[in-house]
A and B are shown apart, each in its own frame.
Chain A
Amino acid sequence: SQQGEEDPQALSIQEGENATMNCSYKTSINNLQWYRQNSGRGLVHLILIRSNEREKHSGRLRVTLDTSKKSSSLLITASRAADTASYFCATAGSARQLTFGSGTQLTVLP
């Protein structure tokens, strides 16, 4: 069963706009990660946020984590056409294996 559920399932924006994706999960976690998957490719790790962190930045990416609400958000600023991909959140519990959500399909229009 999937732990994380992304919202929205699909998002379409214009180049230069910001894209926000949300992830909700059900059980306690050790950390939460975001991955990107381009069509026909494997997943690529983007960023990891630990359960004792609230916000993390990496380039144009900003991730927040609210453990009280069991939710996380991924913000991509100044989006580019190359950001078009599926984005997955994955949670790691005490066993450290990852459980992936269903993903958000992001389309950035030029």
Chain B
Amino acid sequence: DAGVIQSPRHEVTEMGQEVTLRCKPISGHNSLFWYRQTMMRGLELLIYFNNNVPIDDSGMPEDRFSAKMPNASFSTLKIQPSEPRDSAVYFCASSLSVSTDTQYFGPGTRLTVL
């Protein structure tokens, strides 16, 4: 079975550009999570969805970040405009449900903002 799929795997962009990261969760999973990992701050939860509905976006750094989940098999994380401090690895994870607890991570998108 395919795991969580993320694209692109690497993204290099210039400051001010819009960046869109994509995620396809494991089929049948009802919960989806977006994380950001940096050396300084470790792994941070940005937002999570349950049944395509955003439940908690308190981790989203600022209004430049937005996330959507239009259907059960697709989610996007958008940064507009991007800044150098957004450079990080962004992970998507999914789980059967929020209460199931075990999360399955995608391979991540390494974002570099110049």
Contact between chains at A98 and B108 (CB < 8 Å): no
A21 to chain B, nearest CB (A): 15
Contact between chains at A92 and B101 (CB < 8 Å): yes
List chain A residues, Cβ under 8 A from B12.
none
B2 to chain A, nearest CB (A): 13
Task: Count residues of chain B with CB under 8 A from any CB of chain A.
Answer: 19
User: What is the size category of the interface that chain A forms with chain B?
Assistant: 20 to 34
List residues 14-71 of chain A with CB under 8 A from any CB of chain B. 30-31, 33, 35, 41-45, 48
List chain B residues, Cβ under 8 A from A44.
105
Contact between chains at B107 and A98 (CB < 8 Å): no
Contact between chains at B104 and A45 (CB < 8 Å): yes
Bound CA span A41–B107, Å? 5
What's the dominant secondary structure at chain A's contact region? strand
Contact between chains at B105 and A96 (CB < 8 Å): no
Contact surface of A with B, Cβ cutoff 8 Å: 2, 30-31, 33, 35, 41-45, 48, 88, 92, 95-103
Asked if B61 lies at the interface with its beta carbon under 8 angstroms from chain A, I say: no
A48-B101 contact given A2-B42, A43-B91, CB 8 Å threshold: yes
A90 to chain B, nearest CB (A): 8
Q: Which of A43, A100, A101, A102 has the most CB of B within 10 A?
A: A43
Bound CA span A48–B102, Å? 8
Partner of A97, one of B33, B43, B106: B33
Bound CA span A35–B105, Å? 10
A31-B107 contact given A43-B91, A101-B42, CB 8 Å threshold: no
Bound CA span A95–B99, Å? 9
Contact between chains at A42 and B108 (CB < 8 Å): yes
Partner of B101, one of A2, A31, A100: A31
Contact between chains at B45 and A99 (CB < 8 Å): yes
